[in-house]
Each structure stands twice: as C-alpha cells, then as structure tokens.
C-alpha cells in the first residue's frame, strides 16, 4: 500500500507525540487523500511513445505528471482535463471541436485502461475514497472550455455520459457561452450569453460541477447569481496579491465561498510575476510549436523541449517561485477560510514554478502549511475534502 490509511493518521500522530517527537511532514502528507483539480496531462496521451505509467523527467520532455511521480509526490489523483482551444465560431469550427473533444476522451480512457488495478476513472467522491483505500490512483475527468458543446448546451450530457464531471464554459477567448477574463475584445454583453445561461442550468440539472476559472468578472458574477449549487475555480490566483486579469479579486473570492464554493490555487508563472512582452521570444516559441505539431512523437517532444530551453537562454524571463505561489495560497486561505480552498497547480498546462516543478514536489506545500500552523484537519480539507464536498453537492442535483 503506497498510502498510509487515512483513518490511522490520528493514531500515528498520537504515537509520535507520546514518543516525544513530531510526525514528519512527508508521513503526514502520505496519510491524506490528495487531489489536484487541473491536470492537463491528457494533451500528451496522443504522443507516440509517451506512457502515463513511465517515469518522465521535466527537463527531458517537459511533462510534470505521470503515475510514478504522482506516487512519489503523494498525489492520489485529480481532474484530468479535456481541453480544446477556442477556434472559429462557425458550424464547422464547433463540430471540429466536438469531434476533437471526443477524440481526446478516447485517448484518456485508452491510456488509463492500460493500468487496471493501478488507476481508476472515478465519477463520485465515494469512488475516489474507495480507490484510495484500495491503494489505487484515481482520475476524475473535466472539460476546459465549452466550445465543444457548440450552440447546444444540452450536449453537456453527451460528455457527462463519457465520464466528465467538471466543466468550464470559457477559456482564453470569448465564445458562444461567455466572455473570458483574458480576451480584450469589447463585447456588447459581457458575461454569460443566453446560451451560457442555459449551459449553467443544464450543468446544475445533470450534476456537473461548474468551473469558473478563465471566466471574466462579469461571467463569474452571472454564474454565481444563476447556479443553484456551489462552484469551483479549478486553477486560479488572487488578484489582490498580483494584479492580472486572470486572477480573482477578494470580493469575488468571498462570493464564491459564501455560495459554498472552493478556490483551487494555481501556480501559473504569468499570473504570479510580471513578464514584459517580448515579440522576438514569442515568435520563436510559436515557430517551434508549429514545427512540433506536425509530428506527435516522444522524440519530437524531447527535441521541442531542447529548443525551448535554448529560447529561454537567449531571452530569459523572470522566474516565478514557490514562495510567490504560497503568497497566493495563504492569502486565499485568509480571505475565505480553510473550508473553501484547495490545490489546482495547472501542471502540464503551463503551471509550475521554481521549487514546485512537477508532481514529486507536492509535499512541499504540506510542509509549508504545517510551518504556518495549519493542522492535519486543515490539510485534509485543503488537499481534497473541500472539493469532494462540493462535488457531492453538485451531484445531488443530477437527474
């Protein structure tokens, strides 16, 4: 068994105290049910030669999550993302997005099916707890960007039937459902569109947990006003710590919590530290990625990482640090309380900072929070209890 049974943790703590020594942070971390709500790792599942069951190195292929590193870092599971980037708002574009989403879900199910007894695709909080108790990793499925539902919000049920249990309406550009926090184009009606309102009602009806990350302030306000159930921000930061349009201000953080929701704090460098625009660097990176898109193999992926490292040497950027991430996490805890906070680093989607670069380093968060005076009970809430609570609440609305 790779995890200490959760029920045994109080006994371990008492035994340690009686022995006159403190339980180690790593041992306590292992005793918790831990999850991350935003893992973009499925973007690599279609790469020839890349296997979830192999141990990879970030320095070699740029990936941050795999089964061996999850086990090493004491991560029981999380939400594995079906992400389809925003494309044209045409019938052809919408249908291509729907097909691409199903193709990605095919890849996800096929990859996890290779590891029976080691990884289980789960649908409920009870499923996740049972899988952890059996020594297995668990995988919830989520969808980032509502583009694949097109003009038919009822298609959420189509993806629910394939295992998706969390979804967000919008990504980095405005779409048919809502306005985005990072799209600067003016719109006549910021926030949810009428289709977006139907999407929220459908998510509530079928028991889909709504993700407000990437939503504009107006969209988030509309979701909070309309949703009959708590929502999640699966990977967001605090605007009052670092003023970036993708981050969320304290007023809205409190509104999410007041409605029973949870803020899962991200470690995405651009949302933690100022990085002035560099057109030459951006053009070089875009060219490398265009070339890599033509061949999806592990060797090409490694070559791409090498080329990107050369770009970083030529045009270095200000690094984001573990302490900066912790500034956001500790701030959000102070603003909304420990019952409404969790972890959503955005690994394999651009997340990760110096000192928190891949799954092996999750225990650093536990260690730091213990030093800040938070208890085992607090940590159990933050690492999974809070999210599983609102997932239960969302699913009680299901038909």
pLDDT at 44: 97
- 50-104: pLDDT as tens digits: 999 999 999 999 999 999 999 999 999 999 999 999 999 999 999 999 999 999 9
pLDDT at 202: 98
Q: Please choose, from the candidates 18, 13, 17, the residue with its C-alpha nearest in 3D space to the C-alpha of residue 376.
A: 13
Is 50 exceeded by the pLDDT of residue 9?
no
Structure tokens at 340: 């409404």
pLDDT at 287: 95
The structure tokens 């097109």 sit at 150
Rounded CA-CA distance 366/343 in Å is 11
Give the Å distances, CA to CA, from 387 to 87, 175, 260, 341. 31, 27, 10, 8
The structure tokens 């019952």 sit at 339
Extents of the domains making up the chain: 26-275+323-395, 279-317
pLDDT at 255: 98
Q: What is the 3-state secondary structure (H, E, C) of 317-339?
A: CCCCEHHHHHHHHHHHHHHHCHH
- 282-311: pLDDT as tens digits: 999 999 999 988 889 999 999 999 999 999
The chain-wide mean pLDDT, for the chain, equals 93
Mean pLDDT on 194-201: 98
The alpha carbon of residue 311 and the mean position of all alpha carbons in its chain are separated, in whole angstroms, by 27
User: What global pTM score does this model have?
Assistant: 0.93
Q: Does domain 26-275+323-395 have CATH number 3.10.110.10?
A: no
What's the residue count for the chain? 399
Structure tokens at 146: 């509502």
The two beta strands, 164-167 and 262-265, are unpaired
- 318-367: pLDDT as tens digits: 999 999 999 999 999 999 999 999 999 999 999 999 999 999 999 999 99
- 130-164: pLDDT as tens digits: 999 999 999 999 999 999 999 999 999 999 999 99
């Amino acid at each position: 068994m790779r995890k200490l049974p959760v029920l045994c943790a109080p006994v371990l703590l008492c035994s340690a105290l009686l022995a006159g020594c403190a339980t180690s942070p790593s041992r306590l971390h292992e005793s918790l049910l831990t999850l991350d709500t935003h893992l973009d790792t499925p973007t690599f599942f279609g790469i020839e030669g890349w296997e979830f069951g192999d141990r990879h190195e970030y320095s070699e292929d740029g990936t941050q999550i795999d089964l061996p590193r999850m086990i090493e870092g004491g991560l029981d599971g999380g939400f594995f993302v079906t992400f389809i980037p925003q494309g044209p708002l045409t019938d052809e574009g919408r249908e291509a997005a729907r097909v691409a989403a199903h193709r990605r879900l095919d890849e996800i199910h096929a990859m996890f099916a290779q590891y029976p007894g080691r990884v289980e695709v789960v649908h409920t909080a009870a499923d996740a707890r049972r899988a952890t108790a059996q020594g297995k990793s668990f995988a919830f499925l989520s969808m980032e960007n509502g583009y694949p539902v097109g003009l038919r919000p009822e298609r959420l049920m189509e993806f629910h039937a394939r295992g998706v249990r969390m979804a967000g309406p919008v990504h980095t550009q405005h779409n048919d459902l809502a306005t985005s926090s990072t799209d600067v184009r003016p719109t006549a009606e910021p926030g949810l569109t009428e289709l977006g309102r139907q999407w929220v009602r459908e998510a509530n009806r079928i028991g889909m947990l709504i993700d407000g990350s990437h939503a504009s302030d107006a969209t988030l306000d509309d979701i909070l006003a309309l949703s009959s159930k708590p929502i999640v921000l699966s990977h967001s930061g605090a605007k009052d710590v670092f003023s970036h349009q993708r981050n969320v201000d304290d007023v809205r953080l409190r509104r999410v919590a007041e409605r029973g929701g949870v803020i899962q704090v991200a470690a995405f460098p651009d949302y933690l530290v100022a990085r002035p625009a560099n057109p030459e660097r951006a053009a070089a990176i875009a060219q490398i990625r265009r070339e890599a898109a033509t061949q999806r193999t592990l060797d090409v992926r490694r070559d791409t990482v090498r080329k990107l490292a050369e770009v970083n040497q030529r045009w270095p950027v200000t690094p984001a640090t573990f302490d900066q991430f912790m500034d956001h996490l500790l701030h959000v805890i102070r603003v909304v309380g420990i019952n409404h906070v969790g972890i959503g680093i955005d690994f394999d989607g651009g997340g990760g900072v110096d000192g928190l670069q891949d799954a092996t380093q999750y225990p650093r968060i536990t260690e730091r929070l213990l030093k800040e005076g938070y208890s085992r009970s607090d940590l159990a809430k933050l690492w999974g209890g809070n999210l599983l609570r609102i997932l239960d609440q969302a699913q009680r609305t299901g038909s």
